[in-house]
């Protein structure tokens, strides 16, 4: 029976924390049994979600003062579960479900039209086998589950 | 500390990020410094990603921004698996020239001897 392995991080709500937090996520996932591509994709999704929270969830000085971000990662052996919780502004309703699917090729002949951003939610939506987002009085909770194999 | 090193050859700029992670916390700085270089000397651009282990969508946005600044004359080389995975997921592999190494990248942007 595999042993549960967990990582709990509480980064400050500022973008300067992103790289160090991402490195810890990467190191944790490197020890999981997830396939390489699944591991990279999950790491990417977690970083996108963290970046989103750090940049957009706490826009006012008051919100900054009471900001709380908590990242829980649990390696269950046959799957990895990630729960990102925060007490800031939620992702607008439906935005994650309606995120871009990357289902059409960009048009290289029209350089100015190429997107330089707006990929984040689409990546979060595509980064794991299961993606769930709940928002309420208890805060915002993004749960990602990536299974092994 | 700079987020990349830069070399200017007769026919191209070569920019090599020095950060292992090109994420949203460095993207703004990276973009503005790289654009400043291109503005001074409007040459094709090679991005050598040999030292980059991870990029997020902000890093990818920088690549697109630089691609526009050099009118599409850009090539990426030494692209690792995690970076390639993001580029493929977002279908940017359809528009970004991705080659194996610096020599191939220089050739791709028309700067090879």
% of residues, chain B, pLDDT over 70: 98
Chain A residues with CB inside 8 Å of B19's CB?
19
The helix/strand/coil state of B51 is coil
Chain A residues with CB inside 8 Å of B65's CB?
116
pLDDT: which is higher, A101 or A116: A116
Nearest CA in chain B to A111: B68
DSSP one-letter string for chain A = -PPPEEEEE---SSGGGHHHHHHHHHHHHHTS-S-HHHHHHHHHHHHHHHHHHHHHT--SHHHHHT--EEEEEEE-SSEEEEEEEESSPPPPTTTTTT-----S---TT-GGGS-SS--HHHHHHHSSSEEEEEEETTEEEEEEEEE--
> Which pLDDT belongs to residue A100?
78
Sheet architecture: strand order including B97-99: B4-8, B13-17, B45-48, B74-77, B97-99
Whether residue A101 is predicted with pLDDT greater than 80 in this model: the reply is no
Give me the residue from B25, B72, B92 closest to A15, CB to CB. Answer: B25
Report residue A46's pLDDT band, with 50, 70 and 90 as the boundaries: very high
Give me the residue from A22, A102, A115 closest to B21, CB to CB. Answer: A22
pTM of the complete model:
0.95
> Which pLDDT belongs to residue B53?
97
Q: What is the pLDDT of residues B36-91, one digit of tens each?
A: 999 999 999 999 999 999 999 999 999 999 999 999 999 999 999 999 999 999 99
**ipTM score:** 0.94
The helix/strand/coil state of B4 is strand
> Which pLDDT belongs to residue A104?
84
Report the pLDDT averaged over residues A18-24. 98
Buried b or exposed e, range B79-103, using 16+ CB within 10 angstroms: beebbbbbbebbebbebbbbbeebe
> Which pLDDT belongs to residue A99?
86
Give me the residue from A22, A104, A119 closest to B57, CB to CB. Answer: A119
- The pair of structure tokens assigned to A33 is 């049994």
- The answer to whether the CB atoms of A114 and B58 lie below 8 A apart is no
Whether residue B113 is predicted with pLDDT greater than 70 in this model: the reply is no
HSE-up of residue A23 (Cα within 13 Å, Cβ side)? 10
Chain B residues with CB inside 8 Å of A122's CB?
90
Chain B residues with CB inside 8 Å of A111's CB?
67-68, 71-72
Please give the interface size between A and B, counted as residue pairs whose CB atoms are below 8 Å apart.
Answer: 92
φ/ψ bin of A53: left (φ > 0), alpha (ψ from -120 to 50), beta (otherwise): alpha
Q: Which residue has the tokens 């928002």?
A: A135
> Which pLDDT belongs to residue A67?
97
Q: Which residue has the tokens 């500022």?
A: A14
Q: What is the pLDDT of residues A57-71, one digit of tens each?
A: 999 999 999 999 999
Report residue B1's pLDDT band, with 50, 70 and 90 as the boundaries: low
Whether residue B112 is predicted with pLDDT greater than 80 in this model: the reply is no
Chain A residues with CB inside 8 Å of B21's CB?
19, 22-23
Chain A nearest C-alpha distance from B99 (Å): 17
- The answer to whether the CB atoms of A36 and B90 lie below 8 A apart is no
- The answer to whether the CB atoms of A111 and B68 lie below 8 A apart is yes
Q: What is the mean pLDDT of chain A?
A: 94
Report the pLDDT averaged over residues B83-102. 96
Report residue A12's pLDDT band, with 50, 70 and 90 as the boundaries: very high
Report residue A108's pLDDT band, with 50, 70 and 90 as the boundaries: confident
């Amino acid at each position: 029976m595999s042993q549960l392995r967990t990582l709990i991080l509480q980064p400050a709500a500022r973008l300067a924390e992103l790289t160090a937090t991402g490195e810890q996520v990467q190191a944790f996932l490197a020890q999981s049994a997830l396939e390489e591509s699944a591991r990279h994709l999950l790491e990417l999704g977690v970083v996108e979600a963290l970046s989103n929270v750090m940049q957009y969830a706490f826009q006012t000085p008051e919100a900054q003062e009471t900001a709380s971000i908590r990242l829980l990662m649990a390696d269950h052996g046959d799957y990895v579960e990630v729960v990102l919780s925060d007490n800031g502004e939620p992702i607008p309703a439906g935005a994650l479900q309606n995120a871009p699917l990357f289902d059409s090729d960009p048009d290289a002949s029209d350089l100015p039209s190429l997107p330089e951003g707006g990929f984040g939610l689409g990546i979060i939506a595509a980064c794991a086998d299961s993606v769930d987002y709940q928002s309420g009085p208890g805060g915002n909770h993004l749960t990602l589950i990536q299974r092994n194999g | 500390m700079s987020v990349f090193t830069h070399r200017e050859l007769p026919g191209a700029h070569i920019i090599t990020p020095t950060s292992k992670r090109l994420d949203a916390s460095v993207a703004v700085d990276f973009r503005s410094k790289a654009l400043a270089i291109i503005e001074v000397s409007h040459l094709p651009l090679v991005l050598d990603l040999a030292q980059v282990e991870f990029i997020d969508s902000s890093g990818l946005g920088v690549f697109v921004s630089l691609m526009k600044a050099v009118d599409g004359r850009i090539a990426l080389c030494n692209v690792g698996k995690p970076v390639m995975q993001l580029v493929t997921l977002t279908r940017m592999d359809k528009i970004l020239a991705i080659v194996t190494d610096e020599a191939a990248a220089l050739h791709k942007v028309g700067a090879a001897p």
